[in-house]
Amino acid sequence: MTMTRNLIALSLAAGVALAALPAAAQQAESPAPPKLSWSFSGPFGMYDQAQLQRGFKIYREVCSNCHSMDFLSFRNLADPGGPGFSEAQAAAIAAEYKIKDVDDKGQPIERAGRPADYFPAPFPNAAAAAAANGVAPPDMSTLAKARTYSRGFPWFIFDMFTQYQEQGPDYIHGILTGYEDPPKDFKLPEGGHYNKYFPGHNIAMPQPLQDGQVTYDDGSPQTLAQYSKDVAAFLMWAAEPKLEQRHRIGFQVMIFLIVLSGLLYFTKKKVWHEVEAPREAAHGQDPAKTTL
Amino acid sequence: MSGHSTYQPQNKVMQWLETRLPIGGLIHSSFVAYPTPRNLNYWWTFGGILSFMLGVQIITGIVLAMHYTAHVDLAFRSVEMIMRDVNYGWLLRYVHATGASMFFLAVYIHMFRGIYYGSYKAPREVLWILGVIIYLLMMATGFMGYVLVWGQMSFWAATVITNLFSALPGIGEAIVTWLWGGYAVGNPTLNRFFSLHYLLPFVIAGVVVLHVWALHVAGQNNPTGIEPKSDKDTVPFTPYATAKDSFAIAVFCILFAWFVFYIPGYLGHADNYIPANPAVTPAEIVPEWYYLPFYAILRSIPNKLLGVLALFSSIGILAFLPWLDTSRVRSARYRPLFKQFFWLWVIACIGLGYLGSKPPEGAYVLISRIFTAYYFGFFIIILPLLGIFEKTKPLPNSISDSVLKAKA
C-alpha cells in the first residue's frame, strides 16, 4: 500500500510540475481572445443564416478588396447548410462579378460571373498581392480553421469533452476588435499596426472594420463588435461548409452506436454467462470438479 | 495451440472445396475453435480493434485516393475539394485523418498491455517483434499520409523528418537527396510519399497475418501470465471472444465518432490548413501527437547525430525487450516492483508526449532529459536487474484457479 501511495504521490508531483511550466512560458505571449457563444458550437450547432448573410456582405464590401477566397464558388452561397441564398440570388450575385475567360477565338475577355465560377481573387498573383499590401493577405477559404491560439494545459484536455472547436472564429473576432494604441515601451516597426491578440502584436493589416462602416438591412447593430462576429461566423462556414450535415449525421451515428453497443453488451453477457457464473456454483457444487 | 481442425463441413460444396483447399478448416480453427484463455480482460480486445481500424483506414484511403491529386500545386486544393464537392468527402477524410489517431491510440494501449502482462516473453518473442515491425510501418505510413495534405505542417514535418538522416556522417546528405528525389522537399517527394502511403498499409496487413499466425502458434497470454493447462482454462474464440471483441469495437467507435463528428480539428494542427509554402517557416514545427514522445527524446539531446540515434533507439529497443526483461514471471500482477516502475514509465512516455509539443527551452528541456533518461533506464537498467532482485508474489496453480479465487 505504501508503494502504491508513493507512486500516486510521484505522479501527482510530476503532473503539478508539468502544469506549472506553461505559466512561466506564457507570460510573453498574447492574451487569449474572448470566447464568444456561437450558433454553430456544440453537438447540435447550426449556422445562423442571417448572420452568414451579414458576414458575406462584410466579406464582399471589405475583406474581398485584399483577400482571395479561392475554394468557394458562387453556387456555394445556395448550398444547404450555408447562408441560405436561393439559386437565383446566387446567380444574381455571380453576375455582378467580372470573370476573366477566353472567347471562342481564344482571345482573353471579361464576362459576367456564373454560379459555377469561383470567387475571383483581388490580385493576379501572390507577388502582386504582397507588393500592394506589404505582405500577401492570406486566402480566406480555410482561414477560420488555419488560425488558432494556444489553449495551454489543462484547458486543451477539457476542450476534448466540451467540444470547443471555435478557436478560429474567436481568434478572428479577437483580431478584428483587438486594434489599440501600442503601450509606451512597445516599438512598432514601420508599416505595422498594434493588435492586442496578434502573436507579437505587430500586424501588417490596418484595422479593416469600424463602427457604421457596412450597412445592415436587417436592423442588426452596425457596430465593430457585431461586424467582427458576423464575418468570423461567415469565415467559419467558408472553411467548414458541411458542418451542419456533420452534426446531423453525427447525432444519428451516435444514437446508432450507443444502441448497438447496448445490444452487444447484453449479447456478450448472455454468451459469457456460463463461464462467469457456472450453474454448478449456483447449485452449491464446486465447479473445479465438474466440466463446463 | 492452433490445434487440429475439427471442422466437418455439412454443405456438399464446402466438402468438395475442403478436400482441395482446406480454407474453411483454417478459418474454423483460427477464428472459431481457437481456444482463448477464459480470464482475458478488456485490454485484450485491442487486437480486434486494431484489425478493425486497419480495415477502416484501407477502405477510406482507397476511396480518398480516387479523388486526391499528388502534385505540389494541386494536392492542397484536391483535399479541400474532397471536403467540399465529393459526396460525403468530408466524412471520408475526417474518418481517415481521425482514424489514424485512433489507430495509434489503440496500438499504444495494445503495447502498454503487452508490456504490463509480459506478453513478449518466451515463447512469444517473434510475435512481439512482428508487432514492433507493424508499429514501425504504421509510423512511416502515418507520417507520409500527413505529408499528402500538403499544408504548412505537412511540408515542414517532411523537411524536418527527412533532414534527420543528414545527421549520419559522410553519407547523410546523399541519403537525404535520395529520399527527396531532388535538392529540397518537392514534387518528387510528394509523389513517392503518395505511392508508399498507398503501398505500406498492405504491407502492414501482410505482417498482421504473420502476427496473428505467430499468436495462434504460441497462444494468447493472459492476465495471470501462466499458460492454460486444461480445457477449463480456455473458451473457444467463437462465440466468446467474437462477442466480447464486437462489443469493445462498438464502444471504441463511439469514441471515434465523437472525434469525427464533433471535434475533427482537435487532433490536427491549425497550420495544416495553410497551403505549403517553402518560403515561410511556421512559428513552431510540431508532429502529430502520436510521434511527440519521440520528438521530445530527439530534442532533449543537444547533439543532432546523438539525438537521431536516441530517437531510433527508443523505438528499436522495443525489439530487444524479450531479452532485456530477465524475470521469469510474466504478469505485473505478481511483480510488485515492476508494476511501479512500469507506471512510472507510462508517466514518462505521456510526459514526453506533452513536452514534445512545447518549445525546447528552459525547464522543458531539463524535464525532457530526465524522462528520456528514465525511458532508456527502464529498459537497460531496471528490467535486467528487476529479474534478479525482485521478490515476486506466488503464482496461482492455473487460470481457472485464479478466476475462482477472485470470485470467492
What is the overall mean pLDDT for chain A? Answer: 90
Predicted local confidence at residue A290, as pLDDT = 55
Element (H, E) at B35: strand B35-37
Is the pLDDT at A9 greater than 60? The verdict is no
Predicted local confidence at residue B86, as pLDDT = 98
Residue that is written with C-alpha cell 461586424 in the block: A227
Within 190-229 of B, beta carbons closer than 8 Å to A belong to none
Confidence of residue A278 (pLDDT cuts 50, 70, 90): low
Euclidean distance between CA atoms A10 and A94, whole angstroms? 64
| Residues B223 and B117: beta-carbon distance below 8 Å | yes
CA-closest candidate to residue B96, choices B19, B12, B197, B177:
B197
- The answer to whether B262 contacts A287, with C-beta atoms less than 8 Å apart, is no
Residue A276 contacts by C-beta under 8 Å, 6 or more apart in sequence? none
Which comes out higher in pLDDT, residue A10 or B34? B34
Confidence of residue B146 (pLDDT cuts 50, 70, 90): very high
Neighbours of B209 (CB within 10 A): 11
- The answer to whether B246 contacts A267, with C-beta atoms less than 8 Å apart, is yes
> By the CB < 8 Å criterion, does B6 face chain A?
no
Query: What is the maximal distance between C-alpha atoms in chain A?
Result: 97
Predicted local confidence at residue A274, as pLDDT = 82
- The answer to whether B250 contacts A70, with C-beta atoms less than 8 Å apart, is no
- The answer to whether B362 contacts A24, with C-beta atoms less than 8 Å apart, is yes
> By the CB < 8 Å criterion, does B80 face chain A?
yes
For residue range A57-85, what is the model confidence (pLDDT) as tens digits? Answer: 999 999 999 999 999 999 999 999 999 99
Euclidean distance between CA atoms A218 and A154, whole angstroms? 41
Kindly list the domain boundaries of chain B, sorted by start residue. Answer: 41-407
CA-closest candidate to residue B274, choices A201, A132, A141:
A141
E strands within chain A?
A: 98-102, 108-112, 193-194, 202-203
> By the CB < 8 Å criterion, does B344 face chain A?
yes
Predicted local confidence at residue A112, as pLDDT = 97
Is the pLDDT at A2 greater than 60? The verdict is no
Predicted local confidence at residue B258, as pLDDT = 98
| Dihedral (CA of A117, A118, A121, A127) sign | negative
DSSP state letter for B319? G
- The answer to whether A257 contacts B273, with C-beta atoms less than 8 Å apart, is no
Domains along chain A? 26-72+119-241 (1.10.760.10), 249-289 (no CATH)
Predicted local confidence at residue A25, as pLDDT = 43
B7 torsion bin: left (phi>0), alpha (psi -120 to 50), beta (else) = beta
Predicted local confidence at residue A82, as pLDDT = 97
Q: What average pLDDT does this structure show over B151-164?
A: 96
Is the pLDDT at B298 greater than 60? The verdict is yes
DSSP state letter for B151? B
Q: What average pLDDT does this structure show over A283-291?
A: 59
CA B163 to chain centre: 24
How distant is the Cα of A212 from the closest Cα of chain B, in angstroms?
Answer: 32
- The answer to whether B354 contacts A272, with C-beta atoms less than 8 Å apart, is no
CB contacts, 8 Å: B244 with chain A: 268, 272
Of B253, B261, B351, nearest to A14 by CB-CB distance is: B351
Is the pLDDT at A24 greater than 90? The verdict is no
Least confident of A9-18, B121-130, B310-319: A9-18
Least confident of A13-22, B56-65, B85-94, B198-207: A13-22
DSSP state letter for A195? B
Q: How many Cα atoms occupy the beta-carbon half-sphere of A275 within 13 Å? A: 23
> Long-range pairs for A214-221 at CB < 8 Å and ≥24 separation?
A214/A57, A214/A58, A214/A61, A214/A62, A216/A54, A216/A57, A218/A50, A218/A54, A220/A50, A220/A54
Euclidean distance between CA atoms B350 and B371, whole angstroms? 10
Q: How close are the terminal C-alpha atoms of chain B, in Å?
A: 30
Euclidean distance between CA atoms A17 and B348, whole angstroms? 13
**Peptide bond preceding B123 in cis form (omega within 30 of 0):** yes
For B41-407, CATH number out of 3.30.1130.10, 1.10.10.10, 3.90.550.10, 1.20.810.10 equals 1.20.810.10
Predicted local confidence at residue A6, as pLDDT = 55
Euclidean distance between CA atoms B302 and B304, whole angstroms? 6
CB contacts, 8 Å: A242 with chain B: 83-84, 90
For residue range A150-209, what is the model confidence (pLDDT) as tens digits? Answer: 998 899 999 999 999 999 999 999 999 999 999 999 999 988 999 999 999 999 999 999
Q: Is A192 helix (H, G, I), strand (E, B) or coil?
A: coil
Q: What average pLDDT does this structure show over B128-143?
A: 98
Is the pLDDT at B58 greater than 90? The verdict is yes
Residue that is written with C-alpha cell 464502444 in the block: B251
Interface test with A, best of B249, B258, B399 (most A CBs within 10 A): B258
Neighbours of B115 (CB within 10 A): 20
Confidence of residue B296 (pLDDT cuts 50, 70, 90): very high
Euclidean distance between CA atoms B215 and B124, whole angstroms? 8
Q: What are the Cα distances from residue A84, in Å, to A52, A60, A214, A237, B229?
A: 8, 16, 20, 12, 69
Question: Rounded to 5 degrees, what are φ and ψ at B348?
Answer: -60, -40
Confidence of residue B54 (pLDDT cuts 50, 70, 90): very high
- The answer to whether A241 contacts B84, with C-beta atoms less than 8 Å apart, is yes
Q: What average pLDDT does this structure show over B183-201?
A: 98
Q: What average pLDDT does this structure show over B306-321?
A: 97
Q: What average pLDDT does this structure show over A248-270?
A: 98
How distant is the Cα of A91 from the closest Cα of chain B, in angstroms?
Answer: 19
For chain A, counts of helices (H) and of strands (E): 10, 4
Predicted local confidence at residue B96, as pLDDT = 98
Euclidean distance between CA atoms B108 and B118, whole angstroms? 15
Euclidean distance between CA atoms A63 and A58, whole angstroms? 7
Q: What average pLDDT does this structure show over A122-147?
A: 96
Q: What average pLDDT does this structure show over B61-90?
A: 98
Residue that is written with C-alpha cell 446531423 in the block: A248
ipTM score of the complex? 0.94
- The answer to whether A145 contacts B253, with C-beta atoms less than 8 Å apart, is no
Euclidean distance between CA atoms B27 and B240, whole angstroms? 16
How distant is the Cα of A185 from the closest Cα of chain B, in angstroms?
Answer: 24
> By the CB < 8 Å criterion, does B390 face chain A?
no
Question: Rounded to 5 degrees, what are φ and ψ at B225?
Answer: 75, 5
Of A7, A21, A239, nearest to B364 by CB-CB distance is: A21
How distant is the Cα of A83 from the closest Cα of chain B, in angstroms?
Answer: 15
Q: What average pLDDT does this structure show over B135-150?
A: 98
Is the pLDDT at A8 greater than 70? The verdict is no
> By the CB < 8 Å criterion, does B261 face chain A?
yes
Question: Rounded to 5 degrees, what are φ and ψ at B36?
Answer: -115, 145
- The answer to whether A275 contacts B254, with C-beta atoms less than 8 Å apart, is no
Q: What average pLDDT does this structure show over B119-142?
A: 98
Residue A286 contacts by C-beta under 8 Å, 6 or more apart in sequence? A280
Predicted local confidence at residue A21, as pLDDT = 46
Confidence of residue B340 (pLDDT cuts 50, 70, 90): very high
Query: What is the maximal distance between C-alpha atoms in chain B?
Result: 74
CA-closest candidate to residue B37, choices B231, B235, B241, B316:
B235
Of A3, A18, A245, nearest to B336 by CB-CB distance is: A3
Predicted local confidence at residue A277, as pLDDT = 73
